[in-house]
């Protein structure tokens, strides 16, 4: 699919011209050689925090999750957002997944497109029912408003029909979301060229694949076309592994938790080199006879990022709805 080629061509373009971020190819090659001897242990889809009933409701749930799947870190001086889930206190993405699961189970109409069209930031905050600050709440409500209108106007309010319109193509689904919903149109400009990332548009297909174990609405014939999902956790992991190297002034900003503006050259370079680094890993493993899709490697690296060892250096801070 052309749109996935655009992402790969975009990130390669940025990587080859980067001034603040570089990939250490020697370290990357050692990682690939080691993984060819000790294969990646890919984490399975985690059903503990996600709503799943095997029906169209699960499709709608995942669309709502990924409409809100961004920016889980607090502003300076604010308490990190957390959610109680049974005996656990969750933060980040799992807190969002669990909060929405609890909302569905207690009868909140969060999967109803008519409700999504009109939901306010205040109502959404009450539904998510967490402690601390979840940034950009008004933008989150606007994303749901946009999604609700789109589903009602184009697919009779049925999320499953939207997925079915992609006809089993993950790339086509990502392209459809990015084309029709501005909140999924994750692009930036770098040296006068439009750069495509499409993080949340792509992750919808990967999440459907995981939730439905590659069947029903999770059956896609071209998952190998998905790229890594350019967020803030993956570059943190790749930097810990010394595969991503930041120029000194950028390293100081990241380590001091100084905000990088969305779309700034430094932020674009971090994201682009992250995606290109994972693509180079994938190609290196393929040359050694090991097949691993970029989104699977993304899951592997993202799960590493949940371990304390990989949090010694901060991730970069960029307030954005795209990741």
The model scores a pTM over 0.85: yes
pLDDT at 211: 97
Return the higher-pLDDT residue of 166 and 1: 166
**Closest CA relative to residue 186, chosen from 148, 230, 142:** 230
Q: Are strands 88-91 and 244-246 parallel, antiparallel or unpaired?
A: unpaired
The set of residues, in sequence order, having a beta carbon less than 8 Å from that of 227 and lying 6+ positions away, is: 4, 7, 8, 11, 202, 275, 278, 279, 294, 295
Token pair recorded at residue 118: 């009109």
Q: What is the C-alpha separation between 58 and 162, in angstroms, rounded?
A: 13
Annotated catalytic residues are: 231
Radius of gyration of the chain (CA): 19
| Mean pLDDT value of segment 295-301 | 94
Per-residue buried b or exposed e for 159-196, using 16+ beta carbons within 10 Å of the residue's own CB: bbebbeebeebbbbbbbbbbeebebbbbebebeeeebb
| Mean pLDDT value of segment 156-184 | 97
In the chain, % of residues over pLDDT 70: 99
Q: What is the C-alpha separation between 295 and 227, in angstroms, rounded?
A: 6
Is the pLDDT at 46 greater than 90? The verdict is no
Return the higher-pLDDT residue of 193 and 5: 193
Q: What is the C-alpha separation between 159 and 216, in angstroms, rounded?
A: 13
Instruction: Output the average pLDDT for the chain.
Output: 95
**Closest CA relative to residue 4, chosen from 164, 209, 229, 163:** 229
pLDDT at 39: 75
pLDDT at 123: 98
pLDDT in tens, 233-247: 999 999 999 999 999
pLDDT in tens, 116-126: 999 999 999 99
Q: What is the C-alpha separation between 213 and 211, in angstroms, rounded?
A: 6
Where in the chain are the domains?
2-311
Per-residue buried b or exposed e for 109-140, using 16+ beta carbons within 10 Å of the residue's own CB: ebbebeebbebeeeebbebbebeeebbbbebb
pLDDT at 3: 58
What is the number of alpha carbons within 13 Å of residue 104 lying toward its C-beta? 21
| Mean pLDDT value of segment 54-68 | 98
pLDDT-derived band at 45, boundaries 50, 70, 90: confident
pLDDT in tens, 246-288: 999 999 999 999 999 999 999 999 999 999 999 999 999 999 9
| Mean pLDDT value of segment 8-26 | 98
The set of residues, in sequence order, having a beta carbon less than 8 Å from that of 183 and lying 6+ positions away, is: 67, 142, 143, 146, 147, 200, 321
- Least confident stretch, 42-46, 48-52, 92-96, 137-141: 42-46
pLDDT at 12: 98
pLDDT at 40: 78
Is the pLDDT at 41 greater than 90? The verdict is no
In the chain, % of residues over pLDDT 90: 92
Whether the CB-CB separation of 207 and 296 falls below 8 Å is answered with no
Q: What is the C-alpha separation between 315 and 322, in angstroms, rounded?
A: 16
| Mean pLDDT value of segment 62-86 | 95
Q: Which residue has the tokens 């919903």?
A: 181
Q: What is the C-alpha separation between 172 and 53, in angstroms, rounded?
A: 25
């Amino acid at each position: 699919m052309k749109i996935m080629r655009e992402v790969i061509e975009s990130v390669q373009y940025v990587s080859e011209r980067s001034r603040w971020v570089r990939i250490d190819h020697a370290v990357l090659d050692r990682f690939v050689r080691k993984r060819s001897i000790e294969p990646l242990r890919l984490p399975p889809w985690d059903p503990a925090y996600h709503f799943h009933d095997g029906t169209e409701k699960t499709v709608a749930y995942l669309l709502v999750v990924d409409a809100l799947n961004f920016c889980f870190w607090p502003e300076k001086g604010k308490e990190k957002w957390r959610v109680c889930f049974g005996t656990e206190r969750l933060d980040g993405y799992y807190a969002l997944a669990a909060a929405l699961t609890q909302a569905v189970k207690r009868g909140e109409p969060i999967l109803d497109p008519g409700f999504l069209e009109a939901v306010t930031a205040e109502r959404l905050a009450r539904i998510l029912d967490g402690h601390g600050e979840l940034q950009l709440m008004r933008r989150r409500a606007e994303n749901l408003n946009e999604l609700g209108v789109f589903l009602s106007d184009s697919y009779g309010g049925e999320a499953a029909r939207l997925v079915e319109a992609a006809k089993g193509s993950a790339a086509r689904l990502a392209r459809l979301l990015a084309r029709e919903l501005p909140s999924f149109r994750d692009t930036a400009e770098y040296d006068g060229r439009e750069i495509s990332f499409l993080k949340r548009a792509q992750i919808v297909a990967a999440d459907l694949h995981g939730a439905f174990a590659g069947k029903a609405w999770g059956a896609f014939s071209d998952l190998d076309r998905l790229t890594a999902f350019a967020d803030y956790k993956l570059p943190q992991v790749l930097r810990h592994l010394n595969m991503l190297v930041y120029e000194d002034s950028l390293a100081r900003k990241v380590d001091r938790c100084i905000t990088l503006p969305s779309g700034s050259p430094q932020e674009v370079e971090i994201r682009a080199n992250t995606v290109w680094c994972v693509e180079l890993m994938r190609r290196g493993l393929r040359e050694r006879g090991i097949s691993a899709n970029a989104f699977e490697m993304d899951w592997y690296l993202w799960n590493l990022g949940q371990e304390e060892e990989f949090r010694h250096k901060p991730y970069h801070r960029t307030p954005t709805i795209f990741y």
